[in-house]
Structure 1
Amino acid sequence: MRATFKILFFVNRSKEKNGVVPIMGRVTINGTQAQFSCKYSIAVEQWDTKANKVKGKGKEARDINYALDNIKAQIIKHYQRISDKEAYVTAEMVRNAYQGIGTEYETVLRAFDKHNEDFAKRIGKDRVKETYYKHTIARTHVANFIKYYYKRNDLGMNELTEDFMNQYCIYLRNEVGVQQSTVRLYCTTLKSIVSHAHKNGLIPRDPFVNCRVSGGTKEREFLTEDEVQALMSHRFNDPALTQVRDIFVFGCLTGISFIDIKNLTTDNLVTINDSLWISSARQKTKIPFRVKLIESARKIIDRYEPFRCGNRLFNVYRNGWTNVLLKQIAEECGINKRLTFHMSRHSYAVMAISNGMPIESVSKILGHTKITTTQHYAKITTEKLDKDLSVLESKIGDKMKLV
């Protein structure tokens, strides 16, 4: 099909001020249009609508018409360059190229690189290194997929289709071998980058707007009360295992996440109604939370008081190494579960709800922005179900008599 390409200059009469109007440009390609300002203004009667230029032969008219010719030449040059490179061209792409906008977004991997560079600048402010590493891994998977499926080193952003996302999901599951929840994580990053490009006029449409990637039915593991007690009563020969066990148990007894435990200071210890509490805010969401410390949690704080650096409550290992040691701890204690620190938070939620704490209170303690997030943690255990059904039986058992 023959491409239609046209450049038109006109004056915007709706912006007339004291008889002066701005000169605008419009690029039309295959039915798509994009307008831009030429950065010149003239008296409305000076514009020649048929000739698309300024009337007269004076210096001002010659200078402006020369500038318009130069703009037209630049746009034609950008159009030809993009046409040679991309499968199809839109007016927005040519207009953006002329204005110098978004040239780094011309391909998928360049867009990813720009996204990751911007993310890296925010580390320590409102972003963390761990998430940045996940984005770099996601970028690697996309690059490998393009080589695997398309036999190319990169792909134009405007070449993306729904099929790209569908095939990428299959590639992640079958070739990379990741779980469905991880597939969704990688695809969410890619969708966000493409959506950003569309919102900034760099591609004519969002090819993934209707793509829905399921997170699967991932079970969130937790420790039972007996398993937590088994951890608490075990004696380790390695002091490092003892320390990691204590911090993990502290998480089970408070519901506080790893990074928030790491950030705790003596300033977060407050007394309310003659009881010791922790009052802080989640690093992830900035949502404040308060939790009352039971005796075992207070003992853990006291145990590590002599080893504090400054006013930090605990000296903790990095999260990755902590999880490595937790695997050893689980094995030594006979717990047949893949122990991670985040399971302490799951375990707290389950124990709290199983023992009658309202889910609204659990959500407040965990510092969740939505109660639906808490519901993902909350497990209805057999013990809780048995208690609830026993209460129901005691109330209606005598009334419901079969004759």
Structure 2
Amino acid sequence: MRNTISVLFFQRKNANRMEEMQSVMARITINGKSAEINTGVKCYLGDWDTVHHSIIGRTHEIKEKNKALAGIRTKINQLYYQQTLYGQITTANQIKETLTGTKNKHHYLLALMAMHNDNVKQQVGICKSKATYLKYEVTRKHLANFISRTFSKEDIALDKIDHQFICDFELYLRTVATCGANTTAKFMQFFKRIVFWP
């Protein structure tokens, strides 16, 4: 059986945030079966070209965002050809798992965070700020210290993160890390964004 692949970019509209930038998604379709990923690129609904599946405009920022989308398309196609190099069958979900890193080691918190932060780092200067990237990195370091101190482990499985874990981490930030109330709230916000990413 011969694989056929297509990659389509589109916007997932959030009815509650129509005035805000919306995420650009990538739909990978192989042999009629699809999987979707969040590209990390955002734009306003009025700036999205539904015909050419790109962002309208000629500013440097928009050019960089379209360049990022083109890079994602290239990466997807590279993975597709790698996985079908010897005539093997691959699926859209397999491409997604490989691309997002959810297939193996990223079922662990710090590994997921490292992948997430690398994703943010690649977007610095495009649609993310360096300050945002650094805040995510500080959050990761606090969690690494908390996990080492509390569990004597280098990482922890995602399915071990429960309400108690969240409460204990917040307490750690306020006491051991001596973070103020606002700083603690900010780190908890970044932590929750990562846990529920993408």
| TM value normalised by structure 1 | 0.25
Greater RCO, 1 or 2 (C-alpha within 8 Å, sep 6+):
2
The structure with more radius of gyration: 1
| TM value normalised by structure 2 | 0.49
